Amino acid sequence: MTTDEKLAAILAAVQTDPGNRGLARDPDDNLFTATAGDFAAACRSITEHRSPIVALTTGFYISSATPPAFETDGPLGVIFLQRALLGCHIHTLTYVRGEVAQSLVAAREMCDLPVVDVGPEGWSHHVVIECSGPGAGGRHYSMRGKDITEDQNAELAIRFKPLKRKRSKSIDLGTIRSSLTIGIGDGGNEIGMGKIPHETIVKNIPNGDLIHCRVPTDHLIVVGVSNWGAYALAAGVYVLRGVKPPADLFDPDREREILEVMVREGPLVDGVTGQQTATVDGLTWDEYAKPLVRIREILES
C-alpha cells in the first residue's frame, strides 16, 4: 500500500460505530464525512513540524458510576500516544486533572515513560481526547442529554485555552505560544465537535441539538471509541515517519495490562457500564481490540 492508502485504511479501521451512537446515520452528511481530511492533516502536522511537543488532555467524569470517577476512554489513549510518540523521538506532556493523573502516573511508571518539563516556548500541538465540551448554552451534557456541567467536567473545558495557561507546580508552562489543536471524540459532546456544522450533528446524533459541543479544534478525528483515535493518530505518525513501531505498541495483551493498572490506581470506570472494570465503552475486549489488530496489520503490510 502507498502512504495515502495506509492512512485511509487506518482511518477506516477506527471509523465504525460499535455503540450505535449515530455517527454516520445519514450516509451522505455525517460526523465522518464532515471531517474528511482532518485525520491525515493532523498526522502530517505533527510529522512535518521541526520540533513537535505534544500536550495531551483527557478526562470525562461519570458521577453516576461505582465509584464516581473518570472513564477509561481517553486516559488509555493518552498513555498510548506517549508510548508511541516517544518511539518517534517526539516529546509529550499531559495536562489533566489530579484524579486522571493518578492513573497516568501508574501507567507511566509501568511503561517507564519519562516526565517532560516544558520551557518558555511551550508546546506545538494540543491533543484533547474524550473531553466534555459546552453546548450553545454553555452547559455540558451526556449522550443521553443529562446536564453534567457540575460533575467536574466543565473545568477541563475552561482550561482548554492554548494561549493562556496557569503555571503548574510540576511543569513550568511559561509563556505558551499558539498551538495547533487536535480533537478526538466519539459522540458529538466532546471538545472539537464544534468544527462540525450543527445541522449535521442534529441529523445524526440523538439529542444532538442539545448536547452538541460548540468548541472547535483545528483538526477533528471522529471515531467509534475515542481511544481508537489515539491509536490511529499514532499509527499515522509512524507511517509518515517511515518508522517501525515497537513490538508491544499495537499489542492487545499489553494494552489490557496497562488498562488494568490504570483502572485500579485511578480509579477509572467504564463510561457505559459505570463499573470499575478494565473495559471501555461497554465493549468486550475482543471487540475493543479489533482496530489495534487491524492497524498492526496495516503497518506491517
Q: What local confidence, expressed as pLDDT, does residue 179 receive?
A: 85
Mean pLDDT of 72-77: 98
| Alpha-helical segments (H) within the chain | 3-14, 38-47, 75-86, 98-111, 154-159, 198-204, 208-211, 226-241, 252-265, 285-300
Ordered by start, the domain boundaries in the chain are 3-300
pLDDT digits (tens, 9 = 90+) for 8-34: 999 999 999 999 999 999 999 999 999
pLDDT digits (tens, 9 = 90+) for 145-180: 999 998 876 666 655 554 333 333 333 333 334 689
Mean pLDDT of 32-39: 98
According to CATH, what is the number of the domain 3-300? 3.90.1640.20
* Percent helix / strand / coil, the chain, rounded to 5: 40, 15, 45
